[in-house]
Amino acid sequence: MIMFKLKPFDVLYFGSGKTLSVATSVKSIFPPYPHTIAGAICSKIHKKTGIDVSQILKYIYGPFLFNEAENQIYFSIPADIYKVRKSEKLEKIFFIEPLWNFLKLFNPENTNKPIYVNTLAVYKGSNEIEPIDNGLISKNGLKYWLEGKKTEIENKDIKTFENVFEYENRIGIKQKIETHTVAGEDSVFRISFLRLKDNWAFIVLVKFNYENEELQKANLDNDEKMLDFFNDEINILKLGGEMKNVYYKVEKVGDIKDIFHFEKPNLSQGDKIKLLFLTPGVFEGDILKIKGLKVLTIILHNYVNLGLSSPCFLRKYNFIKRAYPPGSVIYAEVEDKDEVKKLWLNPSDGSNNFIGSNLIIYTKTE
């Protein structure tokens, strides 16, 4: 497996999947989606070799944030972690949990929760709190979250977006995606780019499908040759809207489980677990269907739109999918432990059109 560390030279823009109207104002999302990074990597291979790159990736993990000063990986913060309401500084964190017991004050069955949600998640305490919907958690902090050691998570384990990047307003020009040329008259719009602060970078881990005939045709059939390929010239990728230049470093790494060091729990039928999406969760319709699980409750701040718009080198496609954002938490009951085991750090291979989505870890809970 190969790890890419990406350091932008300039500002970046990542689209949300919503259609861009002429003469309007748009704002970059953060963090970018896995298929955005995958597209940048595949585009470079296609440009240099001319091969069909639609099936050359096996898996992609990330992107995650990396703090070079701390030598620490950061992930989207779990949606069950809250802060003091309207506080400017993150002084204390709180946790919301499913309300399994009946309340005299109100019955969850009498609320407008979805029918497939067993109960609601609440905070039991006297503080006024609100979600940290713009934050990251360190690998150390996430390890404590998985182990249920809430008191071990410190303020230093959590970063708000203000610690990581800042927005920069500029004027953009709408382009034709096929040719990257100006779309026509009145194509100017205002755009809020993001600029990573010092010591921050994106990291993404990639497993290439070396059994793919196109990669074999290009003599790129193992990690060593792929490393030589990406180190052959100037280490630059074109990333995001307006195809900004991003510098990268590549290195060969071990298995994803060896990098994260998260312990996979042993499961039995009937166990209650909570799942965390490290990348967007793609689902069908209004009900999340996960093989082997009965969903009990869902904690998230909003939905996101995953947009896919590309010539694909062979055919053009353009569609939008509704998904859970990274950091979404789901409580569920195990119905088939063998199916649930397959979820652990096993992202989509692209069969749902969004490679790298559905990267999940989980832990047992009461």
The residue from 209, 233, 259 where one domain ends is 259
Task: Please choose, from the candidates 8, 43, 65, 16, the residue with its C-alpha nearest in 3D space to the C-alpha of residue 191.
Answer: 16
The residue from 135, 158, 181 where one domain ends is 158
Q: How many residues can be counted in the chain?
A: 366
The per-residue pLDDT for 21 is 55
E-strand stretches of 216-271: 236-239, 244-252
**108 in the same domain as 209:** no
**Highest mean pLDDT, choosing among 102-111, 182-191, 274-283:** 274-283
The stretch 151-161 carries a mean pLDDT of 90
The stretch 298-302 carries a mean pLDDT of 87
Measured distance CA(77)–CA(291) in Å, rounded: 25
**322 in the same domain as 334:** yes
**60 in the same domain as 103:** no
**53 in the same domain as 10:** yes
The per-residue pLDDT for 226 is 96
> Does the structure show a pLDDT above 70 at 160?
yes
The per-residue pLDDT for 333 is 93
The stretch 172-178 carries a mean pLDDT of 68
Task: For the chain, give the percent of residues with pLDDT over 90.
Answer: 54
> Does the structure show a pLDDT above 50 at 315?
no
**307 in the same domain as 178:** no
- Label residue 103 by pLDDT band (50, 70, 90): low
Would you state the structure tokens that stand for residue 355, as one six-digit string?
Answer: 């490679």
**294 in the same domain as 168:** no
The per-residue pLDDT for 70 is 94
**169 in the same domain as 62:** yes
- Which tens digit of pLDDT belongs to each residue from 289-298? 788 999 888 8
293 contacts: CB under 8 Å, gap ≥ 6: 273, 332, 333, 334, 335, 336, 339, 340
- Label residue 137 by pLDDT band (50, 70, 90): very high
CATH number, domain of 178, equals 3.30.70
Domain that holds residue 177: 2-72+163-259
Look up the pTM and report it: 0.88
**288 in the same domain as 221:** no
Q: Lowest mean pLDDT of 75-84, 97-106, 248-257, name the range.
A: 97-106
Q: Lowest mean pLDDT of 105-109, 145-149, 302-306, name the range.
A: 105-109
**268 in the same domain as 251:** no
**142 in the same domain as 214:** no
The per-residue pLDDT for 312 is 47
> Does the structure show a pLDDT above 50 at 111?
yes
**171 in the same domain as 152:** no
The per-residue pLDDT for 150 is 86
* 194 vs 17, residue with greater confidence: 194
CATH number, domain of 282, equals 2.60.40.4350
348 within 8 A of 355, measured Cβ to Cβ: yes
- Which tens digit of pLDDT belongs to each residue from 18-71? 655 544 778 888 999 999 999 999 999 999 999 999 899 999 999 999 999 999
The per-residue pLDDT for 23 is 47
* 122 vs 361, residue with greater confidence: 361
The per-residue pLDDT for 246 is 93
Q: Lowest mean pLDDT of 173-187, 267-281, 331-345, name the range.
A: 173-187
Q: Per the structure, how many domains does the chain have? A: 3
**123 in the same domain as 64:** no
The per-residue pLDDT for 25 is 76
The per-residue pLDDT for 84 is 87
The residue from 220, 241, 259 where one domain ends is 259
| DSSP assignments along 126-173, one per residue | SS-EEE-TTEEEEHHHHHHHHHT-GGG--GGGEEEHHHHEEEEEEEEE
Q: 363: how many CB neighbours lie within 10 A of its CB?
A: 16
DSSP state of 230: H
The stretch 224-236 carries a mean pLDDT of 91
